[in-house]
Structure 1
Amino acid sequence: MSYIPKPSFRHPQLPVNDLGLTVRDYEGALSTLCAGCGHDSISSAVMQACHQMALEPYRVAKMSGIGCSSKTPNYFLNQAHGFNAVHGRMPSVTTGANLANRDLIYIGMSGDGDTASIGIGQFIHAVRRRLNMVYIVANNGTYGLTKGQNSATADRGSLAKKGSANPWDNVDLVTMAIQAGAGFVARSFSGDKAQLVPLLQAAIAHNGFAFIDCISPCVTFNNHRGSTKSFDYVREHNTALNRTDFIPMKEEITADYQPGEFTDVCLHDGSVMRLHKMAADGAAGYDPQDRVAALDHIQRRSAAGEVLTGLLYLEPNAPDMHEVMETAEQPLNQLGERELCPGREVLQTINASFR
């Protein structure tokens, strides 16, 4: 990865969080992506979310694969852990890291090629195993590093930069994630930080697999008229299902509202997601905790040509991989020889249990 350090100057009056850190303390190197790339907006949203939550950067592990999107972890949280895996293999590397140290907060950055093409098998199994991580796909519908071919998430009929229409149906990652068992599924837009930041905060607080499909236009190869992943198209067709407020556990929860305007969902750690219902058509009876209703609503809005954003599905008490496998609460990398090699008698007892 390229590394260009940022100037060390800090404005003395920048606001600080509970750790005494400013948002500049959550930055990384200068971005080498194209000017105006939506991926940089996602990086900025991650920094803002972590700063507002007062997360110690060293508690975060940034994971990525290959592609423009997978370069972005270099541009935020330079004091965090990180691993840049091979193409499409980020989920399996994250699984191994998570098994070794469950105490870290895992944020995976991927793209539509890294996830929906070469890594689609890895993605599905990370979801169904309920790996405790935040999985972000910077979705621009094109392969920017190889000069703009349509990716698997490009909508059928969407025009490429040279004018050719995509003849294939797209891979819809949000419906795939819901069907495979993800406990938190959302879609957002890199140009809507007011929506994206609280979704990121809620995803980080969620226990289990949290997936955010973020439409992130490629300004070089896929930001033209006829593209369904361009800034103009998403702004014109964006249907926000809800606006999300994230209320940390430590804050007093107060509300003054009329029935039907808000839905509060308590997460496993006591934090609260407050969903402000916005979409008029069909939203009144939509329950984001109903998997079947979520899939139906996504499909209906997609058929109408709309880009549905917001929290799409949530299972508040979803178990994660460690709960399902009943692993030790102490991270495996902290166990000593006595715990890892308990001796012949224990091994014989284990073997006997399988007979």
Structure 2
Amino acid sequence: MTFIRPNFRHPELSTNAIGQSIKSYEGALSTLCAGCGHDSISAAIIKSCFDLNLQPHKIAKISGIGCSSKTPTYFLGKAHGFNSVHGRMPSVTTGANMANRDLLYIGVSGDGDTASIGMGQFAHVVRRNLNMVYIVMNNGCYGLTKGQDSATADKGSASKKGVPSVFDSIDLCQLALQLGAGMVARSFSGDKHQLIPLIKAAIRHPGFAFIDVVSPCVTFNNTPASTKGYEWVRDHLEATGTIDFIPAKSEITIDYPPGTSRQVELHDGSELVLQKNAEDYDLSSRKAAMNRIEAVREQQHILTGLIYHNESAADTHGLINTVRQPLNELSQQTLCPGSGVLDSLNESLR
């Protein structure tokens, strides 16, 4: 068999505002297990970039090691890409972002890649507020090494091996909130109507945007006793509200059922629109978001949707006052102005 996607597409395939068809945002055929939630996330990324009229060559997709970190092969085949060492995606993304801030950076990771070996890297990329989209494909297990529990496996839940986890789990959304992320959301790979608007909003968010996506592993962690399986997740979802994304200067209209809604305006004029439910809370309050996650968790449910949103914090470039021009476009004279400049700088510090 072949894993090369066929080139043929329908001659009347629709295009977006920049003349690109959905084919321009695809990658190779997936080699993941049939039914894997990760493929649904890849499809959501493809649809989001297509709808936002992004140029694929202006996107950089970076990952670590794991089933999730294989997925950049399956989307945005014309984008820049780098598959890094296990748990080191954040530092590679940081280096690339410092060199060229003009690209859109999409980091893809897994629950093992982020919550275990990459925990230290995750903590620092959040607190630095790097301008990137950070997506965790969270299945609660190590799919590449036969399904051992990961650090996000809920206490008492059981995977295919049948032994309940005896350890408390790490909630990555709560951790991202505590570390200062500007946008925090959680979704389910089987809910594209919620996930796609969240990815669009994360792309438009200036600074660090984090999305934890529960993505069932159909091979090792899809039993009725697993809190990361399709059956359990579908029966225990609790959403912050119905979500839609309205691009800037778009003629798209929305029609919500009776009730109130909240419009979250992003820096480019786009809007994330949320239809409130009865238990709505202040999305700009980190404390309220933490309390809501914990309250839902105590009910043995999973809180999905936009959990926290704050655009006021400066991103890494603003914090350390970097140059606007990408480093690879700077001249030798600018990068190495000579010993005289260094002497003057040293003298000013005496």
Normalization by structure 1: what TM-score? Answer: 0.95
Moved over 3 A (4+): 252-260
Contact residue 64 and residue 89 of structure 2 kept, 8 A:
yes
Which residue is equivalent to 2:183? 184
State how far apart, in whole Å, the 1-side matches of 2:19 and 2:268 are. 23
State how far apart, in whole Å, the 2-side matches of 1:105 and 1:255 are. 27
Structure 1 residue 84 corresponds to structure 2 residue 79: no
Q: Which runs of 5+ in 1 are unaligned?
A: none
Structure 1 residue 261 corresponds to structure 2 residue 260: yes
Q: Which runs of 5+ in 2 are unaligned?
A: none
Structure 1 residue 71 corresponds to structure 2 residue 73: no
State how far apart, in whole Å, the 1-side matches of 2:75 and 2:180 are. 29
Letter in 2 for 1:116: A
- CA positional deviation for 1:353: 2.7
State how far apart, in whole Å, the 1-side matches of 2:295 and 2:347 are. 54
More deviation in 256-265 or 32-41?
256-265
Which residue is equivalent to 2:306? 311
Contact residue 256 and residue 275 of structure 2 kept, 8 A:
no
- CA positional deviation for 1:4: 2.3
Work out the percentage of aligned pairs sharing the same amino acid. 60
- CA positional deviation for 1:314: 0.5
State how far apart, in whole Å, the 2-side matches of 1:260 and 1:193 are. 23
Structure 1 residue 329 corresponds to structure 2 residue 324: yes
* Equivalent of residue 339 in structure 1, options 329, 334, 337: 334
Specify whether residues 240 and 293 from structure 1 end up closer, same or farther in structure 2 by C-alpha distance, changes over 3 A only: same
- CA positional deviation for 1:12: 1.8
* Equivalent of residue 291 in structure 2, options 293, 296, 312: 296
Specify whether residues 257 and 143 from structure 1 end up closer, same or farther in structure 2 by C-alpha distance, changes over 3 A only: closer
Contact residue 238 and residue 307 of structure 1 kept, 8 A:
yes
Contact residue 206 and residue 315 of structure 2 kept, 8 A:
yes
Letter in 1 for 2:166: P
Letter in 1 for 2:320: M
Contact residue 177 and residue 184 of structure 2 kept, 8 A:
yes
Three-state SS of the structure 2 residue aligned to 1:239 is: strand
Contact residue 185 and residue 210 of structure 2 kept, 8 A:
yes
State how far apart, in whole Å, the 2-side matches of 1:322 and 1:259 are. 42
Specify whether residues 255 and 136 from structure 1 end up closer, same or farther in structure 2 by C-alpha distance, changes over 3 A only: closer
RMSD between aligned alpha carbons? 1.6
Which residue is equivalent to 1:56? 55
Which residue is equivalent to 1:197? 196
Letter in 2 for 1:180: L
State how far apart, in whole Å, the 2-side matches of 1:246 and 1:353 are. 50
- CA positional deviation for 1:255: 7.2
Contact residue 267 and residue 317 of structure 1 kept, 8 A:
no
State how far apart, in whole Å, the 1-side matches of 2:256 and 2:144 are. 48
Matches within 5 A, 1:103-114: 103-114=102-113
State how far apart, in whole Å, the 2-side matches of 1:14 and 1:244 are. 27
Which residue is equivalent to 2:213? 214
Letter in 2 for 1:78: G
- CA positional deviation for 1:352: 2.3
Count of residue pairs the alignment pairs up: 349
State how far apart, in whole Å, the 2-side matches of 1:72 and 1:66 are. 10
Letter in 2 for 1:322: H
- CA positional deviation for 1:269: 1.7
State how far apart, in whole Å, the 2-side matches of 1:43 and 1:193 are. 11
State how far apart, in whole Å, the 2-side matches of 1:234 and 1:317 are. 33
- CA positional deviation for 1:13: 2.2
Q: Deviations along 1:214-256, whole A, 9 cap, x unmatched?
A: 0000000000110000001111000111222111112258778
Which residue is equivalent to 1:132? 131
Three-state SS of the structure 2 residue aligned to 1:318 is: coil
State how far apart, in whole Å, the 2-side matches of 1:193 and 1:22 are. 20
Three-state SS of the structure 2 residue aligned to 1:220 is: coil
Specify whether residues 155 and 55 from structure 1 end up closer, same or farther in structure 2 by C-alpha distance, changes over 3 A only: same
